[in-house]
């Protein structure tokens, strides 16, 4: 008797994709192929995975949960990739990266960034990785990092949770080469135009606590992931795409 596991929305897709890869991808080639499909506007990302540790829905306390963190051994080179996923949702006609960015900018003006906004989430993970790379974990845990006045909290800290700190210790070994990737329902062509016309040029403010940089940011579309699953016969994940039809992307 066969068993089919169906999950809801982006969490269901993320779980299905990476669990299916974990038991089908014994040598890391499939994961490397997926990551090499990501669009990195400002630097080249090259991934040949020999070994990977995958953290799903890992909490980082004040810095928010990460949908996925990949800790990759690429030959003798170590890399970490933070992924944050968004979906269209069933009620919406479409999801556009420009709209998400405008919401982010509106949050800055109102001095209240939304913790569910993609740009806020990627920014928080970037600051976390930078803090872990340049400070002792104990300081990030207890003293934290200062954030601009539009943040709903400053400083932001890792706190005392031992599971959170365990994950931080794991990540600290992989911070020589770090990427931040948005998995989105928009088309890559739209993402490319958005990056060229808006994101590259954007400076959020003069507050010295911003430490803003998008150089290591990249993008993956759900359409690209679904085509990748079709090409590599990831049937369980394709079943979850079917189950969530009209929920993920147009």
Residue by residue, DSSP assigns 191-230 as HHHHIIIIITT----S-TT-----TTEEEEEHHHHHHHHH
> Using 50, 70 and 90 to split pLDDT, how confident is the model at 28?
confident
pTM for this prediction: 0.96
Domain for residue 105, yes or no?
yes
205 domain-assigned: yes
Is 229 inside a domain boundary?
A: yes
Report strand pairing: 217-221 vs 178-184: parallel
Query: Residue 212: inside a domain, yes or no?
Result: yes
Residue 203 pLDDT: 95
Among the residues of the chain, which ranges form H helices? Answer: 9-24, 29-35, 97-110, 118-134, 137-142, 162-172, 188-194, 222-231, 235-243
Q: CB atoms < 10 A from the CB of 36, how many?
A: 12
The answer to whether residue 1 is domain-embedded is no
Judged against a pLDDT cut of 70, whether residue 163 lies above it is answered with yes
Q: Is the pLDDT of residue 1 over 80?
A: no
Mean per-residue pLDDT for 32-46? 93
- Smallest CA-to-CA distance from 31 within 83, 97, 87, 86 is with 83
Q: Give the model's confidence band at 25: pLDDT under 50 very low, under 70 low, under 90 confident, else very high.
A: confident
Answer yes or no: is pLDDT of 139 > 80.
yes
The dihedrals phi and psi of 216, each to the nearest 5 degrees, come to -95, 15
> Please, what is the Cα angle at 24 between 23 and 25, to 5 degrees?
100
Quick check: is 103 in a domain? yes
pLDDT band at 81 (very low <50, low <70, confident <90, very high): very high
- Give the span between the Cα atoms of 169 and 38, in whole angstroms: 26
Residue 191's pLDDT is 96
Number of domains in the chain: 1
User: Is 151 inside a domain boundary?
Assistant: yes
Q: Tokens at residue 134, please?
A: 């340049």
| Residue 250, in any domain of the structure | no
Residue 2 has pLDDT above 80, yes or no: no
Domain region containing 208: 9-243
């Amino acid at each position: 008797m066969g068993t089919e596991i169906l999950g809801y929305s982006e969490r269901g897709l993320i779980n299905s994709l990476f669990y299916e890869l974990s038991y089908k991808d014994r040598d890391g080639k499939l994961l490397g192929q997926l990551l090499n499909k990501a669009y990195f506007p400002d630097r080249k990302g090259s991934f040949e995975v020999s070994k990977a540790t995958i953290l799903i829905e890992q909490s980082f306390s004040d810095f928010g949960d990460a949908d996925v963190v990949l800790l990759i051994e690429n030959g003798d080179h170590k890399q970490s990739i933070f992924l944050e996923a968004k979906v269209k949702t069933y009620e919406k006609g479409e999801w556009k990266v420009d709209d998400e960015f405008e919401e982010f900018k509106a949050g800055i003006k109102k001095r209240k960034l939304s913790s569910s906004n993609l740009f806020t989430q990627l920014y928080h993970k970037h600051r976390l990785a930078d803090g872990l790379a340049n400070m002792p974990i104990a300081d990030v845990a207890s003293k934290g990092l200062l954030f601009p006045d539009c943040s709903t909290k400053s400083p932001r800290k890792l706190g005392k949770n031992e599971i959170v700190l365990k994950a931080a210790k794991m990540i600290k070994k992989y911070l020589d080469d770090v990427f931040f990737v948005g998995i989105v329902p928009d088309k890559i062509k739209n993402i490319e135009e958005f990056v060229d016309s808006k994101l590259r040029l954007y400076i959020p403010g003069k507050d010295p606590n911003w430490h803003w940089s998008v150089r290591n940011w990249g993008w993956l579309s759900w359409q690209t992931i679904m085509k990748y699953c079709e090409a590599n016969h990831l049937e369980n994940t394709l079943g979850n795409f079917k189950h969530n039809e009209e929920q993920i992307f147009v």
